[in-house]
């Protein structure tokens, strides 16, 4: 668990629950990768035209999650307002992506996996949001 180790070793003061912060970073990184892979898998499907919206939302969610990872990994001169805004954006992207992928999950296993990753990330982001003053 290198994320938690990095958080513990930073000389900057981190006023967030270190374990929860590490779990959010890991969930967002996973979600970013899974959403990217889901978009790619959608492009390989025969009915790709029916998956355009899913692909777009997958890629948007992947980008928002990746940005969330980067912002949450910086602790020098921490700014709570930015962290809250990024986490809220991640919640919104994950909710939207999960809902879209759930519509296709019956036909496409990659969409089911993606929806699960999005729901897990959204839940952890919400949990961390409740701890930020």
User: Domain span at residue 65?
Assistant: 16-129
Q: φ and ψ at 13, to 5 degrees?
A: -75, 130
Report yes or no on 70 lying in a domain.
Answer: yes
pLDDT tens by residue, 27-68: 999 999 999 999 999 999 999 999 999 999 999 999 999 999
Residue 20 burial (10 A CB sphere; 0-12, 13-18, 19+)? middle
Residue 22 burial (10 A CB sphere; 0-12, 13-18, 19+)? buried
Scored b (16 or more CB within 10 A) or e, 51-83 reads: beebbebbbbbbebbbbbbebbeebeeeeeeeb
Task: Check residue 33 and give its pLDDT.
Answer: 98
pLDDT tens by residue, 79-107: 999 999 999 999 999 999 999 999 999 99
Distant-in-sequence, close-in-space partners of 18: CB < 8 Å, separation ≥ 6: 4, 7, 8
Report yes or no on 72 lying in a domain.
Answer: yes
Residue with the larger pLDDT of the pair 100 and 14: 100
Structural domain total, the chain: 1
**CATH number, domain at 61?**
1.20.1270.360
Report yes or no on 102 lying in a domain.
Answer: yes
């Amino acid at each position: 668990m290198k994320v938690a180790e990095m958080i513990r070793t930073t000389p900057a003061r981190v006023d967030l629950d270190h374990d929860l912060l590490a779990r959010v970073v890991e969930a967002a990184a996973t979600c970013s990768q899974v959403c990217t892979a889901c978009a790619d898998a959608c492009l390989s499907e025969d009915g790709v035209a029916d998956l355009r919206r899913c692909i777009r939302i997958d890629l948007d969610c992947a980008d928002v999650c990746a940005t969330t990872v980067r912002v949450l990994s910086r602790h020098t001169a921490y700014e709570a307002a930015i962290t809250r805004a990024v986490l809220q954006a991640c919640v919104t992207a994950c909710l939207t992506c999960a809902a879209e992928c759930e519509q296709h999950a019956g036909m496409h296993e990659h969409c089911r996996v993606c929806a699960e990753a999005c729901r897990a990330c959204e839940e952890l982001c919400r949990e961390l949001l409740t701890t930020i003053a």
